[in-house]
Amino acid sequence: MQAYIAEMLGTALLILLGDGVVAGVLLKGSKSENAGWIVIISGWALGVTFAVYAVGQVSGAHINPAVTLALAFTGHFDWALVPGYILAQVVGAFLGAVLVYFHYGPHWALTEDADAKRAIFCTAPAVRNTPYNFFSEFLGTFVLMFGLMAIGAYRFTEGLNPLVVGALVAVIGLSLGGTTGYAINPARDLGPRIAHALLPIPGKGGSDWAYAWVPVLGPLAGGVAGALLYQMVF
Protein backbone atom coordinates (compact mmCIF):
# COMPACT_ATOMS: atom_id res chain seq x y z
CA MET A 1 0.00 0.00 0.00
CA GLN A 2 2.86 2.37 0.79
CA ALA A 3 4.20 1.95 -2.75
CA TYR A 4 0.79 2.73 -4.24
CA ILE A 5 0.49 5.88 -2.14
CA ALA A 6 4.00 6.90 -3.19
CA GLU A 7 3.11 6.46 -6.87
CA MET A 8 -0.03 8.53 -6.39
CA LEU A 9 1.82 11.33 -4.58
CA GLY A 10 4.76 11.26 -6.97
CA THR A 11 2.52 11.51 -10.01
CA ALA A 12 0.48 14.26 -8.36
CA LEU A 13 3.68 16.23 -7.76
CA LEU A 14 4.75 15.68 -11.36
CA ILE A 15 1.44 17.02 -12.70
CA LEU A 16 1.30 19.91 -10.23
CA LEU A 17 4.69 21.11 -11.46
CA GLY A 18 4.25 20.09 -15.11
CA ASP A 19 0.71 21.31 -15.74
CA GLY A 20 1.55 24.20 -13.43
CA VAL A 21 4.28 25.51 -15.73
CA VAL A 22 1.97 25.18 -18.75
CA ALA A 23 -0.71 27.15 -16.89
CA GLY A 24 1.78 29.85 -16.03
CA VAL A 25 2.77 30.22 -19.67
CA LEU A 26 -0.74 30.08 -21.20
CA LEU A 27 -3.11 31.76 -18.75
CA LYS A 28 -3.77 35.49 -18.93
CA GLY A 29 -2.41 37.62 -16.13
CA SER A 30 0.26 35.14 -15.07
CA LYS A 31 3.71 36.64 -14.48
CA SER A 32 5.16 33.90 -16.70
CA GLU A 33 2.63 34.39 -19.52
CA ASN A 34 4.14 33.75 -22.98
CA ALA A 35 7.42 32.47 -21.50
CA GLY A 36 7.49 29.81 -24.21
CA TRP A 37 8.22 26.19 -25.03
CA ILE A 38 11.68 26.07 -23.45
CA VAL A 39 10.22 27.11 -20.09
CA ILE A 40 7.54 24.43 -20.40
CA ILE A 41 10.09 21.73 -21.20
CA SER A 42 12.29 22.88 -18.31
CA GLY A 43 9.36 22.78 -15.90
CA TRP A 44 8.35 19.28 -16.94
CA ALA A 45 11.92 17.95 -16.80
CA LEU A 46 12.50 19.40 -13.34
CA GLY A 47 9.07 18.17 -12.27
CA VAL A 48 10.06 14.63 -13.21
CA THR A 49 13.36 15.07 -11.39
CA PHE A 50 11.80 16.14 -8.12
CA ALA A 51 8.98 13.60 -8.32
CA VAL A 52 11.61 10.86 -8.64
CA TYR A 53 13.54 12.30 -5.71
CA ALA A 54 10.34 12.41 -3.66
CA VAL A 55 9.18 8.80 -4.01
CA GLY A 56 11.96 6.87 -5.71
CA GLN A 57 13.12 5.17 -2.53
CA VAL A 58 9.60 3.97 -1.77
CA SER A 59 8.05 2.84 -5.06
CA GLY A 60 10.80 3.15 -7.64
CA ALA A 61 9.08 6.30 -8.95
CA HIS A 62 7.59 4.87 -12.11
CA ILE A 63 5.03 7.75 -12.12
CA ASN A 64 4.08 6.57 -15.61
CA PRO A 65 2.01 3.53 -16.68
CA ALA A 66 4.23 3.09 -19.75
CA VAL A 67 7.21 2.58 -17.45
CA THR A 68 5.31 0.19 -15.19
CA LEU A 69 4.05 -1.90 -18.09
CA ALA A 70 7.45 -1.99 -19.82
CA LEU A 71 9.22 -3.12 -16.65
CA ALA A 72 6.62 -5.87 -16.19
CA PHE A 73 7.08 -7.09 -19.76
CA THR A 74 10.86 -7.28 -19.30
CA GLY A 75 10.62 -9.12 -15.98
CA HIS A 76 11.78 -6.21 -13.82
CA PHE A 77 8.44 -5.69 -12.09
CA ASP A 78 5.78 -7.95 -10.60
CA TRP A 79 2.70 -8.19 -12.83
CA ALA A 80 0.51 -8.45 -9.73
CA LEU A 81 1.42 -4.86 -8.82
CA VAL A 82 0.76 -3.39 -12.27
CA PRO A 83 -3.00 -2.59 -11.90
CA GLY A 84 -2.50 -0.89 -8.52
CA TYR A 85 0.44 1.15 -9.77
CA ILE A 86 -1.41 2.34 -12.87
CA LEU A 87 -4.55 3.22 -10.91
CA ALA A 88 -2.46 5.15 -8.38
CA GLN A 89 -0.70 7.03 -11.17
CA VAL A 90 -3.94 8.05 -12.90
CA VAL A 91 -5.52 9.14 -9.60
CA GLY A 92 -2.38 11.08 -8.70
CA ALA A 93 -2.38 12.81 -12.07
CA PHE A 94 -6.02 13.76 -11.60
CA LEU A 95 -5.31 15.20 -8.15
CA GLY A 96 -2.30 17.14 -9.41
CA ALA A 97 -4.43 18.70 -12.16
CA VAL A 98 -7.10 19.69 -9.64
CA LEU A 99 -4.44 21.46 -7.55
CA VAL A 100 -3.33 23.39 -10.65
CA TYR A 101 -6.93 24.43 -11.25
CA PHE A 102 -7.27 25.86 -7.73
CA HIS A 103 -3.81 27.43 -7.75
CA TYR A 104 -4.59 29.48 -10.86
CA GLY A 105 -8.20 30.16 -9.77
CA PRO A 106 -8.83 33.73 -11.00
CA HIS A 107 -6.84 33.31 -14.20
CA TRP A 108 -9.28 30.92 -15.87
CA ALA A 109 -11.95 33.58 -16.28
CA LEU A 110 -9.39 36.03 -17.68
CA THR A 111 -8.37 33.59 -20.43
CA GLU A 112 -10.70 33.37 -23.43
CA ASP A 113 -8.91 30.65 -25.44
CA ALA A 114 -10.63 27.33 -24.70
CA ASP A 115 -7.89 25.34 -26.47
CA ALA A 116 -5.23 26.96 -24.29
CA LYS A 117 -7.17 26.00 -21.17
CA ARG A 118 -7.41 22.38 -22.30
CA ALA A 119 -3.70 22.36 -23.23
CA ILE A 120 -2.86 23.01 -19.58
CA PHE A 121 -4.40 19.67 -18.69
CA CYS A 122 -3.68 17.40 -21.64
CA THR A 123 -1.88 17.19 -24.95
CA ALA A 124 -3.03 17.87 -28.50
CA PRO A 125 -1.20 17.55 -31.82
CA ALA A 126 0.30 20.56 -33.57
CA VAL A 127 -0.95 19.04 -36.84
CA ARG A 128 -3.79 16.54 -36.41
CA ASN A 129 -2.83 13.40 -38.31
CA THR A 130 -3.63 10.33 -36.25
CA PRO A 131 -1.05 7.86 -37.65
CA TYR A 132 1.77 10.40 -37.33
CA ASN A 133 0.53 11.58 -33.93
CA PHE A 134 0.48 7.99 -32.68
CA PHE A 135 3.98 7.40 -34.04
CA SER A 136 5.25 10.56 -32.32
CA GLU A 137 3.97 9.35 -28.94
CA PHE A 138 5.27 5.84 -29.64
CA LEU A 139 8.73 7.09 -30.60
CA GLY A 140 9.04 9.57 -27.74
CA THR A 141 8.18 6.89 -25.19
CA PHE A 142 10.38 4.36 -26.96
CA VAL A 143 13.32 6.71 -26.45
CA LEU A 144 12.25 7.38 -22.86
CA MET A 145 12.13 3.70 -21.91
CA PHE A 146 15.23 2.74 -23.87
CA GLY A 147 17.01 5.61 -22.14
CA LEU A 148 15.77 4.63 -18.68
CA MET A 149 17.02 1.09 -19.20
CA ALA A 150 20.37 2.44 -20.34
CA ILE A 151 20.62 4.78 -17.35
CA GLY A 152 19.86 1.85 -15.06
CA ALA A 153 22.92 0.02 -16.39
CA TYR A 154 25.26 2.60 -14.83
CA ARG A 155 26.21 3.39 -11.25
CA PHE A 156 26.04 7.11 -10.54
CA THR A 157 27.07 9.05 -7.48
CA GLU A 158 24.27 8.59 -4.94
CA GLY A 159 21.33 10.87 -5.68
CA LEU A 160 22.36 11.72 -9.25
CA ASN A 161 20.00 9.36 -11.13
CA PRO A 162 16.90 11.61 -10.95
CA LEU A 163 18.85 14.47 -12.55
CA VAL A 164 19.87 12.21 -15.43
CA VAL A 165 16.26 11.09 -15.87
CA GLY A 166 15.17 14.74 -15.94
CA ALA A 167 17.76 15.46 -18.61
CA LEU A 168 16.38 12.57 -20.68
CA VAL A 169 12.86 14.01 -20.43
CA ALA A 170 14.19 17.44 -21.43
CA VAL A 171 15.99 16.23 -24.55
CA ILE A 172 12.93 14.23 -25.66
CA GLY A 173 10.87 17.39 -25.32
CA LEU A 174 13.39 19.52 -27.18
CA SER A 175 13.88 17.07 -30.02
CA LEU A 176 10.60 15.19 -30.36
CA GLY A 177 8.00 17.10 -28.34
CA GLY A 178 6.95 19.70 -30.87
CA THR A 179 4.57 17.41 -32.76
CA THR A 180 2.17 16.29 -30.02
CA GLY A 181 3.38 17.97 -26.84
CA TYR A 182 5.05 14.67 -25.84
CA ALA A 183 2.72 13.16 -23.30
CA ILE A 184 4.93 10.01 -23.19
CA ASN A 185 2.88 9.09 -20.12
CA PRO A 186 -0.73 7.83 -20.26
CA ALA A 187 -1.50 8.94 -16.69
CA ARG A 188 -0.08 12.40 -17.34
CA ASP A 189 -2.63 12.87 -20.12
CA LEU A 190 -5.65 10.83 -19.01
CA GLY A 191 -5.90 11.93 -15.36
CA PRO A 192 -5.77 15.66 -16.14
CA ARG A 193 -8.09 15.22 -19.14
CA ILE A 194 -10.68 13.72 -16.79
CA ALA A 195 -10.11 16.67 -14.44
CA HIS A 196 -10.64 19.09 -17.33
CA ALA A 197 -13.92 17.37 -18.17
CA LEU A 198 -15.20 17.52 -14.58
CA LEU A 199 -13.94 20.85 -13.24
CA PRO A 200 -16.09 24.01 -13.57
CA ILE A 201 -13.57 25.89 -15.71
CA PRO A 202 -15.09 29.04 -17.25
CA GLY A 203 -15.37 28.75 -21.05
CA LYS A 204 -13.38 25.55 -21.17
CA GLY A 205 -14.81 23.84 -24.27
CA GLY A 206 -14.61 20.11 -24.94
CA SER A 207 -11.95 17.72 -23.64
CA ASP A 208 -11.12 16.25 -27.10
CA TRP A 209 -11.89 12.65 -26.20
CA ALA A 210 -11.59 11.63 -29.86
CA TYR A 211 -7.83 12.16 -29.55
CA ALA A 212 -7.43 10.89 -25.98
CA TRP A 213 -6.53 7.31 -26.93
CA VAL A 214 -3.39 8.43 -28.81
CA PRO A 215 -1.41 9.66 -25.76
CA VAL A 216 -2.51 6.53 -23.89
CA LEU A 217 -1.89 3.68 -26.34
CA GLY A 218 1.06 5.30 -28.14
CA PRO A 219 3.18 5.58 -24.98
CA LEU A 220 2.17 2.13 -23.72
CA ALA A 221 3.27 0.51 -26.98
CA GLY A 222 6.40 2.63 -27.32
CA GLY A 223 7.53 2.02 -23.76
CA VAL A 224 7.24 -1.75 -24.06
CA ALA A 225 9.03 -1.72 -27.44
CA GLY A 226 11.89 0.41 -26.12
CA ALA A 227 12.44 -1.77 -23.07
CA LEU A 228 12.25 -5.00 -25.05
CA LEU A 229 14.72 -3.76 -27.67
CA TYR A 230 17.21 -2.71 -25.00
CA GLN A 231 16.88 -6.07 -23.30
CA MET A 232 17.34 -7.98 -26.57
CA VAL A 233 20.38 -6.00 -27.66
CA PHE A 234 22.16 -5.61 -24.33
Give the count of beta carbons closer than 10 Å to the beta carbon of residue 58.
15
Kindly state the average pLDDT of the residues 70-81.
Answer: 97
Give all domains of the chain, ordered by start, each with its CATH number.
2-233 (1.20.1080.10)
Q: Examine the pLDDT at 2 and tell me if it is beyond 90.
A: yes
Q: Examine the pLDDT at 158 and tell me if it is beyond 80.
A: no
Q: Quote the pLDDT of residue 155.
A: 73
* Alpha carbons 96 and 162: distance in angstroms, whole number: 20
Q: Examine the pLDDT at 149 and tell me if it is beyond 80.
A: yes
Q: Quote the pLDDT of residue 189.
A: 98
Of 10-19, 72-81, 157-166, where does mean pLDDT reach its minimum?
157-166
pTM over 0.75: yes
Please name which of 103, 161, 138 lies closest in space to residue 220, comparing C-alpha atoms: 138
Which class for 206: exposed (0-12), middle (13-18), buried (19 or more C-beta within 10 A)?
Answer: exposed
Helix axes 130-152, 65-73, angle to 10 degrees: 60
Q: Quote the pLDDT of residue 159.
A: 82
- Give Cα 102 distance to the centre of its chain: 20
Cβ proximity of 5 and 88 under 8 Å: yes
pLDDT in tens, 95-126: 999 999 999 999 999 999 999 999 999 999 99
